[in-house]
Structure 1
């Protein structure tokens, strides 16, 4: 799933493709031109899902496509952990949540474990059931502090620490910039979670 900056860029690209000005899009959406401009430039950091759907409809594009809802393993883990955390806060069994969403327990379990993508049309009903904002669930809110490592069991955490420790050893080269080191470590982090999820899926 894309972050808000990428989504804003896609909105702008699509608006330009259609030859629409901010005023044209404002007429189609009922959202002021200045607000649309602030969404596109990222000045407004949280794009409400209901406004997002109106914009996607006006741009004649599938909201899921605009959101980049082909999620990575780490993103699915983040979403699943948020669902589980909120469900536990509400003392809501997984079976009850599945019933509220009219899906099978098994499917809801896979979504919460982060092994399958959540269908776009489920976002709003799920957020209503858990009393959370879609922006929170999808990671669009600013100051996101989720750590996917917190979802690991003791053995996986040991493997993760060893994996990353070994990786850091190779990046002590001063010719590599800190920015490049961070990119490499982020990539290795994603590879590790791909491996872990692959093992869980077997």
Structure 2
């Protein structure tokens, strides 16, 4: 029979209520012989202590976070330019466009950094992984231009807002060959995000 309240044996030491009808828990024996040998505890006291330890384990908990997502809002656009003897066209994550080498920018038209929306659990931090150099290119038929030097804002790590979303801007550098063939070039690249 289980006893509802905590019991005490003579001497004021508490016994677990679920063990009162079976075992009598005793305080540890601390007396020693003159030779220094500590008296052994009764075997049933040891069993009582082990049984108590099992029932005193802490509770395990777990929380399931919302899946981290990313959606494209605006493409990466370099606008128009003249290749000349070759060089580069760079778009910063803020959308500023600059030319390097002998490339000449055409001021008409539009250009813009890529824009994404990151979503997930509010206030959680995440990391951003951008393509490595030499892995992305833009094509126009058989002609191509390498795309690299990717940058982002926020950069490698950031934190979602209280609403669970954040805007991510991405820029890159386009490598233009000497006498690069005219045409409308296009391509694609991947941005990877993970919770920290």
How high is the TM-score relative to the length of structure 2?
0.17
Whichever structure has more helix as a proportion of its residues is: 1
Q: Highest CA radius of gyration, 1 or 2?
A: 2
How high is the TM-score relative to the length of structure 1?
0.17
